[in-house]
Amino acid sequence: MNKILLILALFFTLLACSVFQAPSLPTPFPTSTVPPSPTVPPPPPLRSLAEEKGFWIGSAVSYEYLHTDSIYRDLLAREFNLLATENDLKFGPVHPEPDRYDFEGGDALVAFAQANGMAVRGHTLVWDWQNPDWLVEGNYTRDELISILREHIYTVVGRYRGQIAAWDVVNEALDADGNLGDTFWLRGIGPEYIPLAFQWAHEADPDAQLFYNEQAAERMNAKSDGVYALVKGLRDRGIPIHGVGMQMHVDLNAAPPPGEVAANMARLGELGLEVHITEMDVRVGSEITPEQLHRQAVIYQDDCLDSGVCHSLELTDLIFR
């Protein structure tokens, strides 16, 4: 894994350098008479190192940028073996009207991934945010909401059956104390919306890996305890769930202690679940130095690569302008 750490450091250094413009020289330097040093070969792509370990390395991807920016496309295809749908398959964008779905973005992302030998993570089927107005303002009964959600999951997951390897089925259902949050779906259906969503996703694509995805639940705290209790309860009931997504939005100077993250991952692994880092960003501020980028890469390694139960690391996005 040290090779992956080195390449991560180089990768983020290159991304950082791409946002700066080198200053112009005041006067030309004289021509050097020293023979040039041998050319150093470029580091191997991240994906080739990850694939040696049976590991996914990926990023959230937006159709908006994918179809307009060749640099963005080339970087994704070269470095990553996993593509996560950033917004295009969320409820609002993909199901903007009661009887209409818009799969333009999702289809394009899946096609790009297939053309470049990348797996796909679908994000997300059930969330309290980015729901369409027709849904949240519809004053539907509980039975009507159950029917709407079931049809939505069957339609979206079914369309990509066999093409999307993993789904974030339910996203951010808990509050800071680890209890079920006051969400649209909890108010409309009740706690059963969570197991129902997993069951319907499994029926729509029995081969897809199904994940519960949560923020600020990486370290050992009340929220991660709530995640553990939720997914253990689903497992105990025989509900099809295969893993937990830890989002990992952290700051360079306030990252969760690696020991706590490892302990949290280990207890989830003991339930027979995988852990994926699904939206990772390690914020370094506006003044970026090589030392900060090295510390950033170490956090990436500590929080996933050394755990033994974490099999995927995805960036929240590629920002390189």
The continuous run of DSSP H or E covering 111 comes out as helix 104-115
Side chain identity at 100, as an amino acid letter?
A: R
- Of 79, 86, 172, 274, which residue is the catalytic one? 172
CB neighbours of 256 closer than 8 A, spacing ≥ 6? 218, 219, 250, 303
* Size (the chain), residues: 321
Enter the DSSP assignment of 301.
I
**Taking Cα atoms as reference points, which of 121, 268, 125, 287 lies closest to residue 209?**
121
CA angle in degrees (0–180, nearest 5) for 248-251-253: 130
Number of other CB atoms surrounding residue 110 within 10 Å? 22
Strand boundaries in the chain, DSSP class E: 56-61, 82-85, 119-126, 166-171, 209-214, 243-246, 249-251, 274-283, 310-315
Check if the beta carbon of residue 57 is closer than 8 Å to that of residue 80. Answer: yes
CB neighbours of 123 closer than 8 A, spacing ≥ 6? 60, 84, 85, 86, 89, 90, 167, 168, 171, 213, 278
Give catalytic status of residue 172 as yes or no.
Answer: yes
Tokens of 59: 């990023």
DSSP states along 208-228: SEEEEEESS-SSSSHHHHHHH
Tokens of 253: 């100077």
Side chain identity at 34, as an amino acid letter?
A: V
Number of other CB atoms surrounding residue 32 within 10 Å? 7
- Of 86, 214, 218, 279, which residue is the catalytic one? 279
Check if the beta carbon of residue 173 is closer than 8 Å to that of residue 230. Answer: yes
Residues identified as active-site: 172, 279
